[in-house]
Amino acid sequence: MDQQTYSVITASGSYIPTRRILNEDFLAHSFYDEHGIRLKKMNEEIIKQFQTITGIQERRYVTDDLVASDIAYFAAKDALLSSQVDMETLDYIIVAHNFGDISEKNRRSEFVPTLASRVKHHLNINNPATITYDLPFGCAGWLQGLIQADYYIRYGTAKRIMVIGTETLSRICDPHDRDSMIYSDGAGAVIVEAGKSKEPTGILSHNVRSYAGDLAYLLRMDRSYNPNFENDTLFLKMNGRKLYENVLKTVPEVIKECLDKAKLSIRDIDKVLIHQANEKMDEAILRDLFELYGIKESPKGIMPMTISWLGNSSVATLPTLYDLMFKGRFEHQTLRKGSTIVFASVGAGVNMNAVAYKIPE
């Protein structure tokens, strides 16, 4: 069998913000519903119920001096240090995000030039052939960047690509919306390179779906739930119940279709790395995925979770999780050579995707 070109993750990096925000830090908040009516339940009960459903106990926020492109740069630098590659040889820098740079003092999206151009500038890369662009694709953006990198590499138009996910969701949270407790900040990066192999390795297959009909605005921007909020700032809003219902109908099928393309079964998968927005939802996705194969119980530990202490950092969730596991910084969860894993994510749009990946021997 002749050698073929595969896309292989050769290095990773991440940045976990230093500010720990505990659930108790929301006790003094005043929460309203979507109709502008203040919730009658005591905050202690609201927070307890929130933790039971989402699994989130704390999350990380950036310090006031940082924006999304800064922490993207930190993650990129971490990946480059891990790889020891010459950054001037990068063909592309793809940065997935949804809100650009939002400063603490002026909370408005700003991304001209692109965040990818800013990262290249911070890295002092001089090569004009290092192409930079941003990718807004909801929380599924980083994984979509990985899929785009695979296309470039497989068709011979690139050999080395950096894909970054970065977000500061703390800057677009409505302090009067209980869903704001889900969101967090962070950045993660990988370097993907062309590799030759006679046996399938690296990225084996991928699958993407966009449900922009009735589901398009399940995540959207809108004003504060507090009718007396002092200005017209727009915040991230979510129809959580409807999103949950439709995710369970679609994501397991998207993952299975991805595995089918690679001629794999869920029995061949060592780890499921899924975007983490809600622990109960992810557990239900995993359950339904295994049921598609006639399996009633999934193996213990197959789906590593960071949501309890990192929250939902959108596009940064998956690359951060991968980096922690790859570098042995996640207790009882590691990625071994030769293992086959599947990535999956879902986000605004509604967009969802999955990637089957074999770690090279």
pLDDT at 89: 97
Tokens of 37: 């009516």
13 and 77 in contact (C-beta within 8 Å)?
yes
pLDDT digits (tens, 9 = 90+) for 280-321: 999 999 999 999 999 999 999 999 999 999 999 999 999 999
pLDDT of 128 reads 98
* DSSP per-residue letters across 284-308: HHHHHHHHTTT-SSPPTTSS---HH
Domain boundaries of the chain, sorted by first residue: 4-197, 203-358
**Phi-psi map region of 301: left, alpha, beta (phi>0 left; psi -120 to 50 alpha):** left
pTM across the whole model: 0.95
Counts of helices then strands in the chain (DSSP H, E): 8, 13
**271-274 vs 340-347, strand pairing mode:** parallel
Q: Which two tokens stand for residue 138?
A: 């909801």
What is the spatial distance between Cα 278 and Cα 247, in angstroms, rounded to a whole number? Answer: 11
Residue 251 and residue 352 in contact, taking contact as beta carbons nearer than 8 Å: yes
Q: What pLDDT is recorded for position 1?
A: 62
Return the sign of the alpha-carbon dihedral for residues 281, 283, 288, 293: positive
- Domain 4-197 and domain 203-358, same fold? Reply is yes
Buried b (16+ CB within 10 A) or exposed e, 187-209: bbbbbbbbbebeebbbbbbbbbb
What are the tens digits of pLDDT across the range 233-243?
A: 899 999 888 88
> In this structure, which amino acid lies at residue 114?
T
Distances (CA, A) of 64 to 15, 60, 168, 185, 203: 15, 13, 11, 12, 38
What are the 10-residue block averages of pLDDT along the chain, 361 residues in total? Answer: 89 97 94 92 93 94 98 98 94 97 91 97 98 96 98 95 97 94 97 92 96 90 91 89 90 97 96 92 95 93 94 97 93 89 95 96 84
Name the β-bridge partners of 203.
357
pLDDT for 348 equals 92
Q: What is the pLDDT of residue 2?
A: 79
CATH 3.40.47.10 fits 4-197, yes or no: yes
The domain made up of 203-358 has a fold known as Peroxisomal Thiolase; Chain A, domain 1 (3.40.47)
According to the model, what pLDDT value does residue 232 have? Answer: 84
CA distance 75 to 95: 11
Long-range contacts of 125-132 (CB under 8 A, 24+ apart): 125/87, 125/88, 125/90, 125/93, 126/88, 127/88, 127/89, 127/90, 129/91, 130/88, 130/90, 130/91, 130/92, 130/93, 131/91, 131/92, 131/93, 132/92, 132/93, 132/94, 132/95
